[in-house]
Amino acid sequence: MEDNKEKNLNEDLEQEDTTQKEPQTESQEEPQEEIQIEIEEEQQSDAEQKSEEETDSKDDKSDKKKSFVGKKDNKLQDKVDELEDRVKRQMAEFENFRKRTDKEKTAMFETGAKSVIEKILPVVDNFERGLAGLSEEEKKQPFAEGMAMVYKQLMTELDKLEVKPIEAVGCEFDPNLHNAVMQVESDEYESGIIAQELQKGYTYRDTVVRHSMVAVVQ
């Protein structure tokens, strides 16, 4: 009986020990878990901070790179604009040079053409005087007919070159076209009207090559 009491007493003691040990174990485990959580939170926080720092670093590098590229692009665009402006100016200068050259060529041609026409006009005068001095019977001869044909062909070619005779007799005197060498009295024309043409004048493309020599009614 005493043995049973002792046994029961031992069991009660063991249960008390177990009861006392269990809270202690739970109490010991809780701080460890909290420490582990804190460590994990710190590690996570460190990782996030490091990630943010890396992101900021990448952003800074990206901004610097963009800034560098932007400056480089601006310099390149300035260079392109400068070259385009230079090309435009050179093209404008070339166009002005071409126009000036064409104008000079035209002026040289006009001057040369007028010079040739001035030398041909005395030949035309001789043809006209020669034909005017022929009688009606002489005009029917082959030689006279040949002269008339050559004169007609010459005047046709001059007309194609825009060489035109200046109208004189019966027209009002114009100092830009006519050269008055004498004054005459006339019952047919009024004062200031050309009564007689002494030498025929010509124009070339609206430019006077030779003024008409005329007699004007006084």
Q: Which residue has the higher pLDDT, 144 or 48?
A: 144
Contact at 8 Å (CB) between 168 and 200? yes
Q: Are residues 155 and 169 in the same domain?
A: no
Place of tokens 């043409």: 197
Domain assignment present for residue 37? The answer is no
Contact at 8 Å (CB) between 211 and 201? yes
Q: Are residues 150 and 98 in the same domain?
A: yes
The amino acid sitting at 216 is: V
- pLDDT, tens only, 87-131: 999 999 988 988 888 888 877 878 888 889 999 999 999 999 999
Distance of CA 151 to the CA centre of its chain: 52
Q: How many CB atoms lie within 10 A of CB 92?
A: 10
Q: Are residues 121 and 187 in the same domain?
A: no
The amino acid sitting at 168 is: A
Average of per-residue pLDDT across 126-142: 91
Domain count, the chain: 2
What does the pLDDT read at residue 66?
Answer: 59
What does the pLDDT read at residue 124?
Answer: 95
Select from 165, 170, 172 the least CA-distant residue to 212.
Answer: 165
Strands 202-204 vs 207-210: parallel, antiparallel or unpaired? antiparallel
Q: Are residues 115 and 177 in the same domain?
A: no
Q: Are residues 181 and 157 in the same domain?
A: no
- pLDDT, tens only, 21-57: 444 444 444 556 666 666 666 667 666 676 666 666 6
Q: Are residues 125 and 206 in the same domain?
A: no
Domain assignment present for residue 94? The answer is yes
CATH at 211: 2.30.22.10
Domain assignment present for residue 26? The answer is no
What does the pLDDT read at residue 109?
Answer: 77
Distance CA(178)–CA(200), nearest Å, equals: 9
Range of the domain at 141: 68-161
Q: Are residues 79 and 154 in the same domain?
A: yes
Q: Pick the last residue of a domain from 146, 161, 176.
A: 161
Contact at 8 Å (CB) between 119 and 149? no
